[in-house]
Structure 1
């Protein structure tokens, strides 16, 4: 009698709490991804998601939340038997996802776009598990200006400092989450030359001062003209690319160019002083050396910044 009583006491809580938990095996088929809008911290996706589960009367479609969506709409719910043991629930989804665009290395940036599914019931009642091939991409999926470099899924438990009114949880709760991630990289080299060709021409104009005799007033006009052109290029670029609070690659290249154009002005003053003191030959040699030093340092520092940005 005592043995039966002990067994009943052990089985009863398992039946009450553990028996009601369902493990949902989850998958996503990504059909489309478009409207990548860094200025709105958003992108739009179309995908089909499904859940394989065990317990009849349990509807995972009503108990899963897409937590990183600004706006979401569901269509075509479908229920069937997955196999002899599991049931299937699936539906189509269109979602405007929130994405924090990392633009420090723009235009050599890489992004990890995420679809985050979280169980609407705590871990005592619902667990999300990824299938072996839980994320598939449509073979015709294309992102103009980008290419896909990888994708995958990650399971996690999210802990909240609240029981959301369920006092049995005693002020804390945990929910199961699956994060599907698509990693993309911008097709950057064409865009890089398009953005910076005007800036490099401005610098080249400023370097021409070293090939003008020191006594000519045009020397200073070339440097100042190059500086104004570089500043104008910066304003135009800032108005056409997404804003970022980080000291970005674009800022680094422009500030480097400003400093080197300023250096051409300073070196021009030194050369002019030499010429005015009757040391014209020395001033001409100084100009030739200064041209190679300025040009060489500028190119090396540009290549170093580009290498850092592309390695990202």
Structure 2
């Protein structure tokens, strides 16, 4: 009985080992394929200009030189790439030269293929002007391979030679960070590529990020100057002498309200629409609220004057409400501007 059990165990062990060896033999080629490194070229960029920042149209323009270094002539990454979120572009020149490989790149090859292209590109960017004029932005210029997926080809960033001209931003902006990275972007489609069995595919993308900060307040003062004038007019209305029923005071406040609304539309047209209330929006809304409150006060003061309480009306107007409105308006604006400057 024991011998039969021993024989059955031996047969089962042989079958299990055979099955394991068969699976290993079938999976070994697949493992070899997945471990095979994709082809690559070194890609670099040098920015010479960033300009034409259109917050309303959600775009910016960049001038730059792009280059690639490849181990073989048939690899043409500059021709096969696309610029993500591109509105329009113009190529100034392009060239490909055979160069001696004096670096460690693609060792031990003696020669490599160096391609260059100089471009001007207008690119989409959703400007966040919530804390304008203390806003900071991350502009991205992204290049993506369009022919070979990431299993066959990837970009290798040229960290050492990529960069930007130190004087390309002057006056209103300054660059506080620059980096270049490679990432792989997944798509839930093979784009009809007959060589890909799966419906999923990934493509190599080179991402150039420029972090910059606004340094000038001139444009802000131009946009906010008008609304602050209407605020001064509103405060002056508390100092007017009583003459005839509401004539001068209400007319002055109506002018201030009209000026604030027009200035708000001008600011929005300049900066573009935003999904949230920006600092400029908040300043205008607060000013309009103060104008409306001052109008209600004017009606109440008129009632006091008409009921023979001129002294009380004068004291309330000049000694109380003028000070409360002026001081509170300055405090509210100071807090909101300070918060925007800290958050950025």
User: How far is 1:169 from its partner?
Assistant: 3.9
More moved, 281-290 vs 130-139: 130-139
Question: Helix, strand or coil: the match of 2:166?
Answer: coil
Q: 2:250 aligns with which of 220, 241, 246?
A: 220
Q: 1:289 aligns with which of 289, 311, 320?
A: 320
Q: In structure 1, list runs of 5 or more residues that go unmatched.
A: 1-5
Seen in structure 2, the aligned counterparts of structure 1 residues 12 and 105 have a Cα distance that, compared at 3 Å, is same
Structure (1 or 2) with the larger CA radius of gyration: 2
Question: Helix, strand or coil: the match of 1:162?
Answer: coil
1:112-191 equivalence runs, <5 A: 112-120=138-146, 121-133=148-160, 135-143=162-170, 145-166=172-193, 168-191=196-219
Q: Name the counterpart of 1:61.
A: 78
Aligned mates of 2:234, 2:213 — CA distance in 1 = 34
Q: 1:78 aligns with which of 89, 96, 112?
A: 96
- Contact 2:177/2:210 (8 A) holds in 1: yes
Aligned mates of 1:24, 1:140 — CA distance in 2 = 29
Aligned mates of 1:239, 1:73 — CA distance in 2 = 28
TM-superposition CA deviations, 1:145-186 (whole Å, max 9, x none) = 322232222332211000122353410001121210112233
Aligned mates of 2:104, 2:228 — CA distance in 1 = 67
Aligned mates of 2:316, 2:122 — CA distance in 1 = 60
TM-score by length of 1: 0.84
1:299 aligns with 2:330: yes
Aligned residues: 308
User: How far is 1:231 from its partner?
Assistant: 2.3
Seen in structure 2, the aligned counterparts of structure 1 residues 232 and 165 have a Cα distance that, compared at 3 Å, is closer
Seen in structure 2, the aligned counterparts of structure 1 residues 253 and 147 have a Cα distance that, compared at 3 Å, is same
Question: Helix, strand or coil: the match of 1:71?
Answer: strand
Q: Name the counterpart of 1:3.
A: none
Question: Helix, strand or coil: the match of 1:171?
Answer: coil
- Contact 1:208/1:222 (8 A) holds in 2: no
| C-alpha RMSD over aligned residues | 3.0
User: How far is 1:123 from its partner?
Assistant: 1.4
Q: Name the counterpart of 1:96.
A: 122
Seen in structure 2, the aligned counterparts of structure 1 residues 305 and 90 have a Cα distance that, compared at 3 Å, is farther
More moved, 47-56 vs 113-122: 47-56
1:210 aligns with 2:235: no
- Contact 1:134/1:153 (8 A) holds in 2: no
Aligned mates of 2:77, 2:87 — CA distance in 1 = 21
1:26 aligns with 2:43: yes
Q: Name the counterpart of 1:265.
A: 295
1:232 aligns with 2:262: yes
Seen in structure 2, the aligned counterparts of structure 1 residues 19 and 63 have a Cα distance that, compared at 3 Å, is farther
TM-score by length of 2: 0.77
Question: Helix, strand or coil: the match of 2:159?
Answer: strand
